[in-house]
Structure 1
Amino acid sequence: MFPRLRRTLSAVLIALACLLAPCGTLAGWAAYGLADTGRYVAAMAPLADDPDVREAVADTLGTGFTGPAGPAGPAGLAGLAGLAGLADEVASGPVNSTVRLFVQDAARSFTRTEAFHEGWDTANRTVHAAVLRALRDDGAAGRAVTVDLAPVTERVRDRLAEDHVPFARRIPVRHTAVTVLPAHEADRLRKGYRVLDVAAFWLPLAAVVFAVTGIAVAACRRRAVTAAGIGTALGGALLALAVVVGRRLTLAELPGAVDGPAAGAVYDALTETLRTASWLLVALGLTVALTSWLTGRYGHRLHRRRAPARAAPDPAPTRPTRTRL
């Protein structure tokens, strides 16, 4: 009865450890990856060279310049393009097709410059820092998250001036509050952030404790180690599958105005670390399981080969016989 209880308890603890391992990895990625401004900006920086992202940014800028919202439209990226002076002239009157095409071509050309790269990094850093401050501030409940993109405009203007772009110094820097997250979305994300912040520490720790305890109480520890390795590998594979499914669901729920390929590129950049961590779980689990299995199999064979040699008694020494004369 006691060995059966040990086997049951070990199986439950190892199963819990295998379930918590991918959950802890997900929480750690969200809390220590997405919530770190430096890592976020580093993950987003290569997207400035992505064709789909540049095309989406150029379309957004062109729409902001030539649309009815004017240069300070919902996207708030007129200054980021470094063409705010042209946007003022365009927005002041009716826009014909020739001017619209000119602005869109100018926006596409701008996305290939170093000024766009600097503006892209600065904008991502500014927005991410503002969102992170709002999520960590309990007193910000009920308030929308807004940012002032004037520093971004100023950085782009200075870069364009360094590149000797005509009239770059005449680009105005406007202090305009741009809404990044509405109040209800910010409140919902704030609650989720607090949960992730706690789970990112306790879930991995609980997974390790459950796994070690389950192996320690097991009637056969080698089989328990093998089961823990296989379960960890399955958890990593499920996490990798969840990333793929999450990508499809995220892109399917986007509004029609959002560019799908660009959003997919952003999703892939943000989840690259999570995908790597999930495959590391698979590799770690399979390595542990295979090592435990090989050790048990060949260890038993070696033990059986050595057993007869240890069991065989040493032959008794023969005494010389004496011959009587």
Structure 2
Amino acid sequence: MADAALNRAEREELERLRAQAARSGGVGRGARWTGAVVLLVLSAVLALLATVTVFARNEILDTDRFVDNMEPLLDDDDVRAAVAARVSTAVTEALDVEALIAEAIDAVQTRGAPDVLSRLAGPLASGVDSFIDKQVHTVVYSDQFTELWRQANRTAHAALVAILTGEQGRALAVQGQNLVLDLGPVVERVKDRMVDAGFDLAERIPAVSVTFTLATSDAFPKLQVATALLNAAAWALPIAALALLAAGVALAPVRRRGLLLGVVFTAGAMFALWGALVIGRSVYLAALSGSVQSPDAAGAVYDALTRYLLAGAQTLAVLALIVALACWLLGPGRAATGTRSLARGARDALARVLTRAGLTFGPVGGAVQRFRRPVEFLAVIVGLLWIVLWRHPGVSGVVTVAIVVAVFVAFVEVVARVGRGAPEAAPE
């Protein structure tokens, strides 16, 4: 009616202003989405970097977690076999078995033994080698070795920290591009066992340093520089990732959709990290080809060193997908609204059953009805804190927490319905 009272010029001006307003509104909305997507992508990238950095801080610079990381290697037969082979070689070289046999035969021949005795040098040396192998395997596959391995790794961790902070350790050291562990204590234990078994010549074995390569990388020399920033980055990167996620969601014209995009990007980053670890294993073993005695043992070491990083990537990916599912369920789509309608009907039906049974929850039901939204929000926050404070929740832990929170929220909804009076069923 108001438009009818306008003359032609005024009506044209009004249409022009309406078109200009529509265009400016569209441009502004598009710019906001572009900015939001950029922030959300950066947040996902920082989340990936934060996952790696926190892993490095918690698993490499923390003694207990480092020892836990290396614990699975005790149950790996390939690792034990590689250690046994390395220690046997060290003991044999330290004794110089062939020289000892030759010395013994010469001593006997000077006392009149026949020259044919020298033909026994080979079988005698083989017998000594077999005896050494047996004693080494007895130690390596015993509970004594388990304790030696744990102590070696615990001692080595202090040396690792010293290396990363610029000091060279003794139990663990960087030799070129190799991170090596000193197995000298294992050799000492084998020496003691051989002496106890009556092989007194083992007393000649000097204190030796026997290195066992744990990992090889050209990054080791650069780690000392990076360590100075590690502690700060372990705190700064997660905070920055969350800040960018919050900024991206706030900038998005539709915040629910912005959060959905943000967590999907984060899940994608975690899956990318997961894939990189799988590919990195193949690259790592290919780089070691021909330089290690047991590729299977090297693979086991890689798996042990990266297992918590892989678990962290999997955990964050599943958590992001759960949040994405929640965002979708809260959306306007037909499937989402249908799902919410079914859930609402189920809660109403349960509330009617409880009301008819006389279970009204008293004043608690009324309080829950008034404050159900804050209570549900608090439940979500507690669930997130539960996951954060859980040392290694894993995928199963995240799913368990999500189920517990969902069940609690559903229970709050039912109690709130009972508190305000359950709705009557629709007549058939």
With the length of structure 2 as denominator, give the TM-score of the two structures: 0.56
Distance 1:149 1:254 in 2: 20
Cα offset, 1:123, TM superposition: 1.4
Tell me: CA distance 1:97–1:166, structure 2 relative to 1, closer, same or farther (3 Å).
closer
* Structure 1 counterpart of 2:273: 239
Distance 2:181 2:141 in 1: 24
Aligned length, in residue pairs:
278
Contact 2:48 2:270 in 1 (8 A): yes
* Structure 1 counterpart of 2:140: 111
Cα offset, 1:218, TM superposition: 1.1
* Structure 2 counterpart of 1:79: none
* Structure 2 counterpart of 1:219: 253
Distance 1:195 1:103 in 2: 47
Select the residue among 47, 53, 57 that pairs with 2:79.
Answer: 53
* Structure 2 counterpart of 1:266: 301
Give CA-to-partner distance per residue, 1:107-151, whole Å, 9 cap, x none: 2222111111111111112222112112113799xxx75999699
1:207 aligns with 2:241: yes
Tell me: CA distance 1:289–1:91, structure 2 relative to 1, closer, same or farther (3 Å).
farther
- 1:247 partner letter: R
User: Per residue, is there more helix in 1 or in 2?
Assistant: 2
Distance 1:218 1:108 in 2: 64
Contact 1:148 1:176 in 2 (8 A): no
Tell me: CA distance 1:14–1:150, structure 2 relative to 1, closer, same or farther (3 Å).
closer
Select the residue among 56, 59, 71 that pairs with 1:30.
Answer: 56
Select the residue among 118, 122, 126 that pairs with 1:97.
Answer: 126
Contact 1:149 1:175 in 2 (8 A): no
Distance 2:50 2:281 in 1: 20
* Structure 2 counterpart of 1:76: none
Distance 2:330 2:235 in 1: 33
Distance 1:175 1:99 in 2: 20
Give CA-to-partner distance per residue, 1:52-95, whole Å, 9 cap, x none: 111111111111122xxx33xxxxxxxxxxxxxxxx47486368
Contact 1:22 1:235 in 2 (8 A): yes
Distance 1:58 1:154 in 2: 10
* Structure 1 counterpart of 2:318: 283
Tell me: CA distance 1:149–1:281, structure 2 relative to 1, closer, same or farther (3 Å).
closer
* Structure 1 counterpart of 2:149: 120
- 2:328 partner letter: W
Cα offset, 1:46, TM superposition: 2.8
User: Percentage identity across aligned positions?
Assistant: 33
* Structure 1 counterpart of 2:331: 296
Cα offset, 1:172, TM superposition: 8.6
Cα offset, 1:286, TM superposition: 0.8
* Structure 2 counterpart of 1:129: 158
Cα offset, 1:100, TM superposition: 2.0
Aligned alpha-carbon RMSD (Å): 3.7
Higher relative contact order (CA 8 A, sep 6+): 1
Distance 2:209 2:138 in 1: 27
**Structure whose CA Rg is larger:** 2
Give CA-to-partner distance per residue, 1:4-45, whole Å, 9 cap, x none: 222121111001001111111011111221222221112212
Cα offset, 1:219, TM superposition: 0.6
- 1:214 partner letter: G
Cα offset, 1:222, TM superposition: 1.0
Report matched runs for 1:146-161 at 5 Å: 152=185, 156=189
Contact 2:145 2:186 in 1 (8 A): no
Tell me: CA distance 1:180–1:160, structure 2 relative to 1, closer, same or farther (3 Å).
closer
Contact 2:79 2:300 in 1 (8 A): yes
Cα offset, 1:48, TM superposition: 1.7
Distance 2:198 2:251 in 1: 75
* Structure 1 counterpart of 2:222: 188
Q: Secondary structure at the match of 2:100?
A: coil
Tell me: CA distance 1:134–1:167, structure 2 relative to 1, closer, same or farther (3 Å).
farther
Distance 1:11 1:150 in 2: 52
Cα offset, 1:168, TM superposition: 11
Q: Secondary structure at the match of 1:267?
A: helix
- 2:35 partner letter: L
Distance 2:182 2:56 in 1: 26
